[in-house]
Chain A
Amino acid sequence: MHRNPSPWLILALLLVACAAPAFNGTAATDALRVSLNVDRLAVGMVEVHVTVADRDGRPLPADAITLMPVMPTMGHLNPEIAMGSGADVRRSVALFSMTGDWTVWVRVTAAGGESLVSFDMRVP
């Protein structure tokens, strides 16, 4: 007797189709390169992953990494969110308070200096 795989496949596809999009981006300054991953562009708690590297791509442990979400069209500036320290940090945070276009500033304190990079994203 055959087992019909279609319902499981359809269910899996439904789950994939309903998932919120993710964000991946990289920005560089004179001193370092910052990569930002947000697992879901959605209101509520999301998993944020920040990696810091030097200009040659070697991991660069940061003394502090903070996020600052801004919604330019609404004039919303949220308090900075401390992500911790290190070259590779992950944290579950409430990044977006509403849907719309956001700019997430990432402030990195490393190697005796401070760098600021930004990423634009849309929360559908």
Chain B
Amino acid sequence: MIRRSSIVIALLLSLGSAPAWAHVGEQGPISTVTQQLGTREVTIRFELPPFAPGAVRLTISSDAAMPWTLRASAVPSGLSAPPAPMTQRQLRPAEVVTIDLPVDQAGRWELLLDDGSAAARVPFVIAALQLAPGDAQLAGALIALLLTLLLGMVVAALGRTPGEWLARGQVAALTAVVIIGAQQWAQRSAAPPPAGGRPHAVMTLHTAPAALLAGQPTQLQLAFIDGATGLMADDIEVHHEAYVHLVILDDAEQSFSHIHPARTAPGRYQVAWTPPAPGDYTVYAEIVRHGGGASVLSRRLTVVGAARPRTPPPMLPLSSATPAGVQIALTAAPLDLGRPTVITVQARDAAGTPAAIRTWLGMAGHLVVRSADRQIYAHVHAMPSTDADGTVRFVYQFPGPGEYQLHAQLALDGGVTTISGTLAMPEGADAPQP
């Protein structure tokens, strides 16, 4: 009897180790999303409840320079408007607010955010407790076995002889457990791993207004379309805390923008942008589709307006000061073709003390590299460092000789700052490359 009970307990415990089914869009109970909402970049930290009903806890911060009004609501995916009035908060610059929004069912949801003019819809998933196929039958067989064993124990404790029916019931239940358990095991062992990857995506870019004028605010409207089916690609995942990292560079390398469009509908994103000067621009969108790697899609824009004198980006090494008086130096070494180059950004305050560098978009720093002929585009992340020395380091192996524009970004106490410069990689004998 003890041996039989042990088998039952072991089998019951094995039920708990069944792998959970994956949910599309599920990013774990805690995740962070950064998006541009109107004129400000808003960072939303999600804490999802383990089950519904429950509440989604949002911790929202922004880089707003002015007070603003935030409205938020959670709606089941598919509904265009919230069933109840949205939660409204008045936020001061740099204020961090926590909002709890109720969710009453498992499944796909959307967080509706707006500031009175701009709006965003951020999808999230409340996980459902799902049994794998056959789990219910296995649980039923285990319960039947447990009950017949307990009944046998009770009959024995009462000093009576168990009837043949009980023994047959125990054998039947045990057989059922073995059969269903073996079937489950065989099915899971034979099941192929979930297929990964996605077809390529196509990006369309429209602007409103259609004609771009230097200095005039415009809305960039992006749509991502599955390259094989033509359906909207609504499986873009958050990577480095944003759905889309949009980098806009002009051909003259006079301007640099790294912004994060807000998701407005499945596969559709929008962000405000003001072209600083006339000229031709390239818009690079970095995305990661569910189950796929990162990819960069680009589109060209032309901006008209009155031409003005333009200064080429300074050559490295260079240094510049932020409005807050922090001195930032940008250097790179060694400049040997075919070998990794370390690009160093050093931030010091007026007293020469290392400035505090905060994590931004999950990294200590971001570096965009583009070759002068626009053939090479790279987004490099800072090497992890625990040193509080006001320094971030990037490593990149320049693929060929020539000039490259570098745009390094890091978050200081006063906000995100960008330092740009030009690096000249000399001709040289190629070293053996990995």
Contact residues of A with B, CB < 8 Å? 2, 4-6, 9-10, 13-14, 16-18, 20-21, 27-30, 41, 70, 72-77, 99-101, 117, 120, 122, 124
- Do A17 and B228 touch across chains, with their CB atoms under 8 A apart? no
- Do A70 and B231 touch across chains, with their CB atoms under 8 A apart? yes
What are 25 A-B interface contacts by the 8 Å CB criterion?
A2-B164, A5-B172, A9-B172, A13-B137, A13-B175, A13-B180, A17-B134, A17-B179, A27-B78, A28-B79, A70-B229, A72-B226, A73-B196, A73-B198, A73-B291, A74-B195, A75-B198, A75-B226, A76-B228, A77-B228, A77-B229, A100-B195, A101-B195, A120-B24, A124-B191
Is B417 engaged at the interface, CB distance under 8 Å to the other chain? no
- Give the residues from 129 to 151 in chain B that come closer than 8 angstroms, CB to CB, to chain A: 133-134, 137, 141
Residue of B nearest to A41 (CB): B133
- Do A75 and B199 touch across chains, with their CB atoms under 8 A apart? yes
- Do A13 and B226 touch across chains, with their CB atoms under 8 A apart? no
- Do A6 and B172 touch across chains, with their CB atoms under 8 A apart? yes
Given contacts A72-B226, A73-B196, A120-B24, contact A29 B79 (CB under 8 A): yes
Is B76 engaged at the interface, CB distance under 8 Å to the other chain? yes
**7 additional contacts, CB 8 Å, given A13-B175, A30-B81, A101-B194?**
A10-B172, A10-B175, A27-B78, A28-B76, A28-B78, A70-B231, A120-B24
- Do B183 and A17 touch across chains, with their CB atoms under 8 A apart? yes
How far apart sit A100 and B172, CA to CA, in the bound complex (Å)? Answer: 34
Contact residues of B with A, CB < 8 Å? 21, 23-24, 76, 78-81, 133-134, 137, 141, 164, 168, 171-172, 175-176, 179-180, 183-184, 187, 191-192, 194-199, 226-231, 235, 290-291
A-B contact count (CB 8 A): 82
- Do B227 and A75 touch across chains, with their CB atoms under 8 A apart? yes
Given contacts A10-B179, A18-B183, A77-B230, contact A5 B24 (CB under 8 A): no
Specify the main secondary structure of chain A where it touches its partner. Answer: mixed
Tell me the smallest distance from the CB of A28 to a CB of chain B, in Å: 6
Given contacts A77-B231, A122-B21, contact A5 B168 (CB under 8 A): yes
| Residues of chain B contacted by A27 (CB below 8 angstroms) | 78
How far apart sit A113 and B196, CA to CA, in the bound complex (Å)? Answer: 36
| Residues of chain A contacted by B79 (CB below 8 angstroms) | 28-30
| Residues of chain B contacted by A6 (CB below 8 angstroms) | 168, 171-172, 175
- Do B168 and A4 touch across chains, with their CB atoms under 8 A apart? yes
Q: Which among B81, B179, B230 has the highest number of chain A CB atoms within 10 Å?
A: B179
How far apart sit A13 and B177, CA to CA, in the bound complex (Å)? Answer: 9
Tell me the smallest distance from the CB of A18 to a CB of chain B, in Å: 7
How far apart sit A58 and B229, CA to CA, in the bound complex (Å)? Answer: 35
| Residues of chain B contacted by A28 (CB below 8 angstroms) | 76, 78-79
How far apart sit A124 and B226, CA to CA, in the bound complex (Å)? Answer: 25
- Do B180 and A17 touch across chains, with their CB atoms under 8 A apart? yes
- Do B195 and A73 touch across chains, with their CB atoms under 8 A apart? yes
Q: Which among B172, B192, B197 has the highest number of chain A CB atoms within 10 Å?
A: B172
The 10 A-B pairs with the shortest beta carbon distances in the complex, nearest first, are A75-B228, A21-B133, A75-B199, A77-B229, A73-B195, A17-B183, A6-B172, A13-B176, A17-B180, A29-B78
How far apart sit A76 and B229, CA to CA, in the bound complex (Å)? Answer: 7
How far apart sit A38 and B65, CA to CA, in the bound complex (Å)? Answer: 53
How far apart sit A38 and B66, CA to CA, in the bound complex (Å)? Answer: 53
How far apart sit A10 and B79, CA to CA, in the bound complex (Å)? Answer: 47
Tell me the smallest distance from the CB of B293 to a CB of chain A, in Å: 14
How far apart sit A100 and B406, CA to CA, in the bound complex (Å)? Answer: 44
| Residues of chain A contacted by B199 (CB below 8 angstroms) | 75
| Residues of chain A contacted by B192 (CB below 8 angstroms) | 99
- Do A72 and B176 touch across chains, with their CB atoms under 8 A apart? no
- Do A14 and B179 touch across chains, with their CB atoms under 8 A apart? yes
